[in-house]
Copies of this chain bind each other. A is one copy, B any other.
C-alpha cells in the first residue's frame, strides 16, 4: 500500500493539475480540500518541489503550481520519491538495491528471478500511467 504521504502527494498534484490556470495556489486551500494537516502537506509539497514537479512563490500571494506537463509525471516517479522502492524485494530494486542477507547467490535464487519479472511488469504499468491519466478521470 502507498503511504498517506504518497496518497496526499497524488491528491495535491491532481488539484494543482486541475487548477493550472490559476497560478500559485495556497497549501491551505489544498489541505482544506482534502482534510490534510497543513504542516504535513507542507513537507510533502516541498519534496515535490525539490524533485522538480512543482514551482513555488513565497510571500503574500504565494503558493505552489505545477511546472511539468501532467503526462511527464509518471506514477512511478512520485511513488519512488515519497515511498521508496517499487520492487517487492530489496534485491530486485533498481533504485534502492540491497542484497538479501539470507541469499548466497542471487543467480540461483528462484524467488529473485520471479521477483525480477514481477518488478518489470509492475514498472511497465506505473511508468505508463501518469498524472494525466488521473486528471482524465476527474
A79 closest partner in B (C-beta): B88
A7 vs B110: C-alpha distance when bound (angstroms) = 12
What residues of B have a CB within 8 angstroms of the CB of A122 in the complex?
122, 125
Total copies of the chain: 2
A134 vs B117: C-alpha distance when bound (angstroms) = 11
The answer to whether A137 and B118 touch across the interface, beta carbons within 8 angstroms, is no
Given that A102-B34, A111-B10, A114-B129 are contacting pairs, would A1 and B88 also be in contact in the complex, using a CB cutoff of 8 Å? yes
A-B contact pairs, 10 of them (CB 8 A): A1-B88, A7-B89, A7-B100, A7-B111, A11-B111, A35-B102, A111-B134, A114-B129, A114-B137, A118-B125
Residues of A within 8 A of B (CB): 1-2, 7, 10-11, 14, 34-36, 75, 84-85, 87-90, 100-102, 108-114, 117-118, 121-122, 125-126, 129, 133-138
